[in-house]
Amino acid sequence: MRQLPLGVRIADRAVFASFLTARNAQAVEHLQAVGRGARRGAVWICGADGAGKSHLLQATCVLASETLHAGYFPLAELAPLGTGALEGLPQLDCVCLDDLDTVVGKLAWESALFGLYRELEERGASLVAAARGPPALETWALPDLASRFAASTVFQLRSLDEHEQLEALQLRARLAATALSARPALALRVARYAR
């Protein structure tokens, strides 16, 4: 059976350097360790919309991809494809599942997730999941999957306050300015090699 590409792209800016840690330092440090391969196992990230869950999952995947086989999978987008979207994921070293709460309570999805969880656990790989609420507050169809995620490392992300939002904008502006200033030098090098 031929595996089809899913067409999921990670945002260029979704790296740890562009995430304002603020009051989420413990979660960020843990995810950086997962991305470097220094920590293994399951991690659950939760928080309100806009708290940075997707950003941190993508940043973890980007960092992990430097030395490991990693993938980011937004389940809100992939759910219409069915559980077949999870095929091949057990071979990865780091699997980042976003929007897990969109498939919680659906028996077919939970069965597939339970199989994925067990295979990754047996291989000593990492599974990072994100949802709005903690695993204990989700309405699970499979108690075994609920208990596994409840036993994972859980981080509740704190949303940025007004002052921190301003800091985050300033951080992104500095990074954008740095990226723009680096482009002319790159263009010059490309022009020289084109001759």
Q: Which residues contact 146 (CB under 8 A, 6 or more apart)?
A: 135, 138, 140
Which regions of 37-171 does DSSP assign to beta strands (E)? 41-46, 70-74, 94-98, 126-131, 153-156
Structure tokens at 52: 């940075």
Domain boundaries in the chain? 16-159, 161-195
Q: Which is more confident, 129 or 3?
A: 129
pLDDT of residue 104: 97
For domain 16-159, give the fold.
Rossmann fold (3.40.50)
Predicted structure pTM score: 0.80
- Say whether pLDDT at 190 is over 50: no
pLDDT of residue 145: 97
Q: Distance between CA 109 and CA 117 in Å, rounded?
A: 12
Name residue, tokens 């389940």: 75
State mean pLDDT over 134-158: 96
Instruction: Give the tens place of pLDDT for each residue, 118-136.
Output: 999 999 999 999 999 999 9
Instruction: Give the tens place of pLDDT for each residue, 63-107.
Output: 999 999 999 999 999 999 999 999 999 999 999 999 999 999 999
- Least trusted range by pLDDT, from 52-66, 110-124, 126-140, 153-167: 153-167
